[in-house]
Chains A and B, each alone.
Chain A
Amino acid sequence: MSAIKRVSTPYELTPLSFDTPYEFPRHFLPSVMKDDSKIPLVLVACGSFSPVTYLHLRMFEMAQDHFKERNEFELLTGYYSPVSDHYMKEGLAKAEDRVKMCQLAVETTSDWLMVDSWEPRQTTYQRTAVVLDHFDDELNKVGGGIATASAGGDLIASFGHPGVWAPNDLHHIVGHYGCVIIERTGTDVYGFLLSHDILYQHRMNVTVIKQLIHNDISSTKIRLFVKRGMSIKYLLPNPVIDYIHAHGLYWPRNSSNQ
């Protein structure tokens, strides 16, 4: 008996087969900002999202709380940018599936987050610096920025924790754009910031948000639970659970569990 019980609900999922032509999503992007004294801000979260979890969704909520408190930025919207299949990471479901799961998550639970499929549609892996440039292009050149009384600056920041990055990219990402880092309990982000030359140089562009509720829902563990027939309920939205089940994602190969 499988421990994964289907929670049946009918959803009208916006079909996003990669056969349909690409369009940059703007439906939650306001045309006018509310407070001219602030800098309009858009957050981009790059990642595998295999699958997207409540932790990924919480990250944006925490960021929203944080920027409401600060007077500097007006947070307009947030985007998930799932990595392309060419990243060749273990456990990656097909890009189309990962995009659809992110969409299910934001469409059924959120009124300000969107999913951009530009990065996963690329035939080669795109560095984060390039992905941010794409957002810059779409939001500010194609989109024309956002209306303010004065010609205000604009800023795009990306979530992330610095892994292995080329110095040029780091300067571009943290210097030209900026970073919002969700600090996990037990990690010493400020110490790291101090020790890392490039991050330190651009420290005014680095925002650290403390995670007050320790909520370590890792996609890796979720994939493992699915593989072992264990419950993943209450770790990610039900529509995403249903999708995983309906498409047989993350099950062991050659399994008789079909």
Chain B
Amino acid sequence: MASTLKAKGFGDDNILGEFHDSYSFPRQLIPETMNDDSKIPLVIVACGSYSPITYLHLRMFEMARDHFNEREGYELIAGYFSPVSDAYMKEGLAKASHRVKMCQLAVDSTSDWLMVDSWESRQSMYQRTAVVLDHFDYELNQVGGGIKTQSGEIRKIKIMLLAGGDLMASFGHPGVWTSEDLHHIVGRYGCVIIERTGTDVYGFLLSHDILYQHRMNVLIIKQLIHNDISSTKIRLFVKRGMSIKYLLPNPVIDYISDHRLYLPEL
């Protein structure tokens, strides 16, 4: 079944990115059966540059997991990082294959429920977030057939976008998101927003028509430990020869060092 919003430029692996292996959707940490039939099975997806991935990115997922442990209603099955394609042309972006590899090093060495999907990063054109979520829906529920309950029934996995407050704030910037996409992302799927201290997320929710309309699908998690490790600063520190230790996993630091990423232009 085709997704409602079509992906453009699909199928051109390896054009940007420089991947050396062929793509396959990672599902090794998706269980066959969910634990609690009374809940809705949920997968959260975090889109971003991840140049490089940091402990803050990893913490976002942990905070989300704590949140869903508390709430009735959802059983959090797994989480995915979806690094953006090089076609996004953002300053400071290392090659997609590097960024994907660094995310993989981070989750492999530290996590047992997070995975990295490279579909978006392999596309030769920038893919809108709405389309990326459709891709996950397709892979998890069409190809993967959803998930089984304890009683043997097949259930669709709900997918939500995990994001920081800055992404949500961008929903308010004119011209950045089409209404159709916003309805698709927040209405058809849903958003988990990590609120940064100092931002007025609830006020923003109230003021934004489309978000307000789908407010039951917008979950806000307060960031209790102010931990602003930005990838931009990390790239800057590397450029200036300063330490980035304890801001991101050691294997990622080693990768940056081995591949000489983010050094000043000569």
Contacts and interface: CB of A to CB of B under 8 A. Distances in A.
Contacts of B246: 54, 57-58, 61, 109
A7 B250 contact: no
B157 to A, nearest CB: 20
A212 B246 CA distance: 14
A231 interface: yes
A214 B59 contact: no
Interface string A4-36: 010100000000000000000000000000000
B233 A213 contact: yes
Interface residues of A, number: 28
A1 B66 CA distance: 11
B110 A65 contact: no
Contact of A212 (B226, B227, B233): B233
Contacts of B12: none
A5 B112 contact: yes
Nearest to B106: A234
B8 to A, nearest CB: 35
Interface string A199-226: 0000000000000111111100100010
User: Interface of chain A, helix or strand or loop or mixed?
Assistant: loop
Interface string A74-102: 00000000000000000000000000000
Contacts of A64: 243
Interface in A175-194: none
Contacts of A147: none
Contact of A213 (B65, B225, B230): B230
A238 interface: yes
A235 B247 CA distance: 9
A216 B227 contact: yes
A213 B112 CA distance: 28
Interface string B1-36: 000000000000000000000000000000000000
Given A3-B69, A231-B66, A217 B245 contact: no
Given A3-B66, A221-B224, A233-B62, A65 B229 contact: no
Contacts of B242: 65
A3 B65 contact: yes
A39 interface: no
Given A221-B224, A235-B227, 10 more contacts: A1-B69, A7-B110, A213-B229, A215-B228, A215-B247, A225-B224, A231-B65, A233-B58, A233-B59, A235-B225
